[in-house]
A and B are shown apart, each in its own frame.
Chain A
Amino acid sequence: MSATEAEMSQLPRQDQAPFLKLSGITKRWGALTALEDIDLEIHRGEVLGLLGDNGAGKTTMVNLISGVFAPSSGTMECCGAPVKISSPDRAHSLGIETVFQDLALLPNLAVADNLFIGRERTFDIVPKLIRVLKRREMERDAAETLKQLDIHIPSLRVNVNALSGGQRQAIAIARAIRWKANMVILDEPTAALSVPEQNKVLALTRQLASQGVAVLYITHNMGDVMQVTDRIAVLYRGRKAAEMRTSETSQKDIVHVIMSGER
């Protein structure tokens, strides 16, 4: 985490600058335009709901911000400074953590391994080359994280493919928020959860925002939208159809924009 903090402190600190600002972001797959000319700002301490029908481009947006692939055109600024989020590592170094819609868990690895994958605690015999895993330490930490989040898993050594859908979703969420993040992206985080577990995720989302994290929250559940978001951006067939404060709109209006692309 020290890398993140060091890097963040080098970026200009304009208090009014949004954590992340997208300008003219476009993503094309051959002839298909998944996102077109999107402008969007996400501030620290707020929950921004990103809504839209199936195929509207929400997950594509998540992937662009998480460094999974690059935009076809457009620019991004982080805390007022231009950035290119060219890889998942780069996103991590900016403090951007993601719960992917498909969860991105490795089925053949244990729970503890999944929580640390790509960012293991190691004892380096040859730096960058031969890095010995500190397994005990990571398992202890993983147990601690799950306990804090009140997630119950029979054993941290069991492989993820032996867990239930809800347990997997919980692990994916735990992985994203265990690193001190500046921004957390949640792509339909409650899809597989029971009602009490959904409520836990909603509470957690508010808690993250109150800690000054910028949260991008994607869902199809209107109840969640009204309950957890501060602002809403609606995508319609790859374009931004509307942007509004949750307190100044109604569920009916939101659904109307999602369906028609018009206010």
Chain B
Amino acid sequence: MSAGDVGRFLSRYIAYVALIAVVLVFGILSPDRFLTVNNLGIVLQNTAVLCVVAIGITFIIIGGSIDLSVGSLMAFSGAVTASMVPSMGAYAFIIGPLVGGALGAINGAIFVFGRIPSFVVTLGMLSVARGCTVIFTGGAPVPIPLSSDFYMFGTPPVPFIIAAISVVIMGALLHFTTYGRYTLAIGGDEEKARVLGIPVDTVKFAMFVISGIFAGMGGSILTSQLGSGSPTVGTGFELLAISAVVIGGTPLTGGTGSIIGTAVGSLVIMSLANGLIIMGVPTNVQTVLTGVVLIVAVMISIRRGKLKIIK
């Protein structure tokens, strides 16, 4: 294998390579605590929410846009979900995706019909939805009853199963349907996609609804895991989710990508966080290392795109 081949291999399978590296490093440094069935179960449990939310953003990034609002959408839909648990019980779960989908539709409508860059629209929504969450909750967590069927969504292995089903369904949507094909086409060259008769606006609008639905679903799961709807939950989560997508091999320039990659990318981020906690590394250092991993992953994967322009 030449250096070029190694580079290509690395950039294509960067998420898998990173996952193996993380598991090896912590497996060697702390075999008795990292590589236990119990701990790996915790990693999967923590990965579920990130994976679900990152799947939604994957479509947007493949289509060449961005969604910065998912952390706030998660918090708002999680809080509304919590408020509905007393009356709806387990059925309150559906509130998260509904609220998230509605906010995603607002993002999409302003982006597509208002012709405002997605970066700006969703940056605004990040702030708006966070503010609404604080107003809605009065600044304090929205408690849910001590015993409720609703807790099942946060109890292992349910979050993991939800994430796994999401990966399968959305992976199939990306690879086997016209919707996935059109998303790729738009990420490749939006103007040409339009000239060829692809319903560009509809596809772009739907990307944001999908992202909202998955952020809302993440919010529901998180509310069940935490036992309340917190006004501060999910702050900075958009960066974790975008990192998971990028480490998973979907470049921010769009036009290509993979849902399974996103799932593995989520696993990388959460194993790293878990390993660092086990090693007793301070939270601030964890944040630094997560950023470093992201940048290194992008450096390795960006070669593949043979990008001529870096924006």
Q: Do A and B come from one complex?
A: yes
Q: Which residue of A lies closest to B196 (CB)?
A: A118
Q: How far is the CA of A135 from the CA of B193 in the complex (A)?
A: 19
Which residues on the B side are within 8 Å of A105 (C-beta)? 192
Q: Tell me the minimal C-beta distance from A63 to chain B in angstroms.
A: 8
B188 adjacent to A108 (CB under 8 Å): yes
Give chain A interface residues in 203-248, CB to chain B under 8 Å. none
Give chain A interface residues in 41-95, CB to chain B under 8 Å. 66, 68, 87-89, 92
Which residues on the A side are within 8 Å of B198 (C-beta)? 117-118
The 8 Å CB contact of B177, one of A104, A106, A131, is: A131
In the complex, per-residue mask of B9-25: 1 if CB is within 8 Å of any chain A CB, else 0: 00000000000000000
B136 close to A (CB within 8 Å): no
A32 close to B (CB within 8 Å): no
Which residues on the B side are within 8 Å of A92 (C-beta)? 197
The 8 Å CB contact of B196, one of A104, A122, A129, A131, is: A104
- Please name 16 further chain A to chain B contacts, defined as beta carbons within 8 Å, in addition to the given A68-B195, A88-B196, A109-B188, sorted by A numbering: A66-B195, A87-B197, A100-B195, A106-B189, A106-B193, A107-B188, A108-B185, A109-B184, A113-B181, A117-B181, A120-B181, A122-B177, A130-B177, A132-B176, A132-B177, A133-B177
Which residues on the B side are within 8 Å of A157 (C-beta)? none
A88 adjacent to B195 (CB under 8 Å): yes
A256 close to B (CB within 8 Å): no
Q: How far is the CA of A87 from the CA of B179 in the complex (A)?
A: 19
Q: Tell me the minimal C-beta distance from B200 to chain A in angstroms.
A: 10
B107 close to A (CB within 8 Å): no
Which residues on the A side are within 8 Å of B283 (C-beta)? none
Q: Offer 12 A-B interface pairs, CB within 8 angstroms, sorted by A.
A: A66-B195, A100-B195, A105-B192, A108-B184, A108-B189, A108-B256, A109-B181, A109-B185, A122-B177, A129-B179, A131-B178, A133-B181
Which residues on the A side are within 8 Å of B108 (C-beta)? none
Q: How far is the CA of A188 from the CA of B198 in the complex (A)?
A: 24
What 3 A-B pairs come out closest when comparing CB atoms?
A: A108-B188, A88-B197, A118-B197
Known A-B contacts A89-B197, A100-B195; the reply to A120 vs B178 at CB < 8 A is yes
| A contacts with B: majority SS | loop
Which residues on the B side are within 8 Å of A117 (C-beta)? 181, 185, 193, 196, 198
Known A-B contacts A106-B189, A107-B188, A107-B189; the reply to A119 vs B197 at CB < 8 A is yes
Q: How far is the CA of A113 from the CA of B189 in the complex (A)?
A: 14
B219 close to A (CB within 8 Å): no
B187 adjacent to A108 (CB under 8 Å): yes
Give chain B interface residues in 208-224, CB to chain A under 8 Å. none
B255 close to A (CB within 8 Å): yes
Which residues on the A side are within 8 Å of B185 (C-beta)? 106, 108-109, 117
Q: How far is the CA of A130 from the CA of B179 in the complex (A)?
A: 7
In the complex, per-residue mask of B142-153: 1 if CB is within 8 Å of any chain A CB, else 0: 000000000000
Q: Which residue of A lies closest to B198 (CB)?
A: A118
Which residues on the A side are within 8 Å of B181 (C-beta)? 109, 113, 117, 120, 133
The 8 Å CB contact of B192, one of A87, A106, A122, is: A106
Q: Which residue of A lies closest to B206 (CB)?
A: A129
Give chain A interface residues in 95-128, CB to chain B under 8 Å. 100, 102, 104-109, 113, 117-120, 122
Q: Tell me the minimal C-beta distance from A8 to chain B in angstroms.
A: 18
B255 adjacent to A131 (CB under 8 Å): no
Q: Which residue of A lies closest to B189 (CB)?
A: A106
Which residues on the B side are within 8 Å of A113 (C-beta)? 181
Q: How far is the CA of A203 from the CA of B299 in the complex (A)?
A: 50
Q: How far is the CA of A106 from the CA of B187 in the complex (A)?
A: 10
Q: Tell me the minimal C-beta distance from B202 to chain A in angstroms.
A: 10
Which residues on the B side are within 8 Å of A119 (C-beta)? 197
Which residues on the A side are within 8 Å of B255 (C-beta)? 107-108
In the complex, per-residue mask of B115-127: 1 if CB is within 8 Å of any chain A CB, else 0: 0000000000000
Known A-B contacts A131-B178, A133-B176, A133-B177; the reply to A104 vs B187 at CB < 8 A is no
Q: Kindly name the residue among B187, B192, B198 whose own CB sees the greatest number of chain A CB atoms within 10 A.
A: B192
